[in-house]
Chains A and B, each alone.
Chain A
Amino acid sequence: MCKRLLLITTLLLAMAVPTYAHLTGAFADFLAIVYDETTISTLHEELAQTRADIEALTPQVAEAENVFRDNQQQAIMQLQAYAETGLDTWLTMMKQGNDVVDLLGNQWLMEQQITTYLQQLNVLYSEFKTLEQAQQSLQGHEQLLYAIEKNLQAREAFLAETAGLELDVIANYLDIDWTAEVEAHIIADLTADMNVINDELLQWVQQPALTLPEQWLNDKSAATYYFRNDHIYMEYELEFAHVLILGQVLQQETGDAAQFVIEAGFYNGFFLPEELLVELSGWSIAYETLQQLDGVDQPYITQQNGYLQIVSK
């Protein structure tokens, strides 16, 4: 039985290898990968779950914020009261003949109470911010899932249009479409993004937080960027093309700039092979320019949800 299975497997491999070998075009290898027809429905399930998670978090965030705001207002009033009555209390205690040790002891106790109170308030603030951050992150994830859905729909549409054609013909079409209709546009638009960033980097910086929000770049770019703390995603659409690019903002080897380093890409749901990917060059952020900002010294960039953060070493 084992020998028979081995023989069948060998035969299948022998048949398969020439098929792969005959494929032409850069996308050939990736078309050979089995396409899971449940992918779109699984994506929809994930979208539904994400929406449910966001909805479930909404009242929790609101409640945590209310609790924090209430306590914040009380804290403000209490601190104001301390500040306003502090001197009077001192004078009253002095009039009553309290000695210095008592006065300092009372002040220390009061400071301890304020510290404890602020710590309790900080716990509420952390809980509120944790929930808010989780909700914002899920909203960002939902946006990204929509982008992925478009990419997969483009794949389905392409496969429907090319149904019945040989695999190598489909691969050729993909290769030709990319080279003739997409590559030059996306390279030009990436270059345009690079130029905008070079020319207007200081305008991009939001003070005093020293952030670079994705929205600013999206307003000026032909692409849509999704800045996330794990990756940077770029969605690029033409009439018949949907491209998703993944990468990270990493420091260049020269150490004088951070660059959007492109790691992977998908064109109409098909993986972009490395030989095409290397033609795409991501924008960069010059440290020299950032050093013109007050308080920025030896800068580097970290990725956050919705923005890049400028940090000094």
Chain B
Amino acid sequence: MKQKIIVWFAFFMLVTSSASAHVMNRDNMYRDIAMSEMADAIVFATSLGIIRDVENDQQFKPSTTLTMKTLAAWYGAFQRLDGTSEHELATAAVAAGYVSTIEGNATYADVNQLYFDGQLALTNKQATLTRAEFAEFITTHAMTVFGEETLLAQAAFTAGPTGVVEAVNKVDTAYVLTIGGKPYTLGMHPSIIGNSVDPSIWTGQYIAQSFFAPNHTSDMHSHDAASQALQFIVLGDTPFITAISEVEEDTTATSLQTIEQALIIDEEPVETSSENNRMMWLVMFGVGAIVIGSLYMYKRKSLK
């Protein structure tokens, strides 16, 4: 949305010296990912520059099947080919020889070929994937070494500090985090996995994983914009990239919670709920145990 505003007030970016850094997370990066189970992977892949809002509409469409055209455009943007629209970038990717066609849907084999030189061992090569599944695939393999490098390295991401955020200070428009007694400048448009996009809230919270990368060239106009800054931060106890399976487990728990909310809180009156059902099972289990116990005792007495 912000990008649109800038279009209407093109001069805004030239003079917005009072604007703070804008942190992005699953709630504000796109309009339609907050409910997606792969929202954080989408945030991460976007932060790496592997996913781009090439249609410039802030919609990610997580459930939509990834097309060759979109894949080509994203890869073209990642390789810094000329073009801004999806069509321009996809065409440039064909011209550069990265893909042979932009027709049809992409497969895991196409993604493997483009981003990992085809070096990943896949069992489902010819399967198509949704855009959210693409993000998850990229996230899963972001640290996988191929050809002596990783996607993280290609995106110029280097490991940042971990630990408790001891202090957050604002120096002009840039935030500086103190971790382990050392100051670290936050990027002008960093991404996070966490609830609050207000860095002031992070004091006392634990950073499980972080990455440095250069600020985007459009941020360089600001005299506060350090060339290297923290661009991706995982707030919480668990590193994001190595914790995919755990995240999935967590997602299951969240799913149940969500559906319970849907059954209980949603607009329509609901006569029963999973919670009640669970209680019913517990009661049943208890009653069952008592009955079995009683029968067992009765049988023992009868035998005597």
Measured CB to CB, the residues of A under 8 A from B are 29-30, 33, 36, 39, 42-43, 46, 53, 68-69, 72, 75-76, 79-80, 82-83, 86-87, 90-91, 94, 100, 103, 107, 111, 114-115, 118-119, 121-122, 125-127, 129-131, 133-134, 137-138, 141, 144-145, 148, 152, 228-231, 246, 248-253, 255, 258, 261-264, 266, 271, 273-274, 277-278, 300-304, 311, 313
Contacts and interface: CB of A to CB of B under 8 A. Distances in A.
Contact of B291 (A94, A127, A250, A262): A94
B258 interface: yes
Given A90-B284, A311-B196, A137 B32 contact: yes
Nearest to B170: A253
Given A130-B36, A141-B1, A83 B8 contact: no
B14 A33 contact: yes
Nearest to A277: B18
Contacts, number: 173
B202 to A, nearest CB: 10
Given A144-B1, A255-B200, A302-B195, A126 B19 contact: no
18 contacts: A30-B15, A68-B262, A90-B287, A118-B274, A119-B256, A121-B262, A122-B255, A122-B258, A130-B34, A134-B59, A141-B1, A144-B1, A145-B4, A250-B20, A263-B16, A263-B18, A271-B12, A274-B18
Contact of B271 (A80, A111, A255, A266): A80
A215 to B, nearest CB: 18
Contacts of B266: 72
Contact of B252 (A107, A119, A264, A271): A119
A56 to B, nearest CB: 11
B146 interface: no
A302 B27 contact: yes
A83 B277 contact: yes
A76 B37 CA distance: 24
A8 to B, nearest CB: 24
B139 to A, nearest CB: 18
Nearest to B19: A263
A100 B255 CA distance: 31
B31 A248 contact: no
Given A53-B57, A137-B32, A302 B197 contact: yes
A-B pairs with lowest CB-CB distance, top 7: A134-B32, A137-B31, A251-B200, A229-B28, A122-B255, A263-B19, A122-B259
Contacts of A152: 8
A33 B11 contact: yes
A303 B16 contact: no
A89 to B, nearest CB: 9
B292 A94 contact: yes
B32 A103 contact: no
A308 to B, nearest CB: 12
Given A46-B4, A118-B274, A72 B28 contact: no
B151 to A, nearest CB: 26
Bin the interface of chain B by size.
Answer: 35 or more
A141 B57 CA distance: 11
A76 B59 contact: no
A75 B263 contact: yes
Contacts of B204: 313
B17 interface: yes
B63 interface: yes
Contact of B8 (A80, A148, A300): A148
B302 interface: no
Interface string B254-289: 011011001100101011101011001100110110
Contacts of B15: 29-30, 271, 273-274
Contact of B35 (A115, A126, A251, A253): A126
B259 A36 contact: no
Contact of A263 (B9, B20, B274, B277): B20
A111 B2 contact: no
Q: Report which residue of B15, B28, B262 has the largest number of chain A beta carbons within 10 angstroms of its beta carbon.
A: B262
A230 B58 CA distance: 11
A181 B284 CA distance: 73
A271 B19 CA distance: 13
Contacts of B95: none
Given A121-B259, A133-B35, A264-B12, A111 B281 contact: yes
A79 B18 contact: no
Nearest to A304: B27
A261 B280 contact: no
B62 interface: yes
Interface in B12-70: 12, 14-20, 22, 27-28, 31-37, 57-59, 62-63
B143 interface: no
Interface string B201-220: 10110000000000000000
A125 B198 contact: no
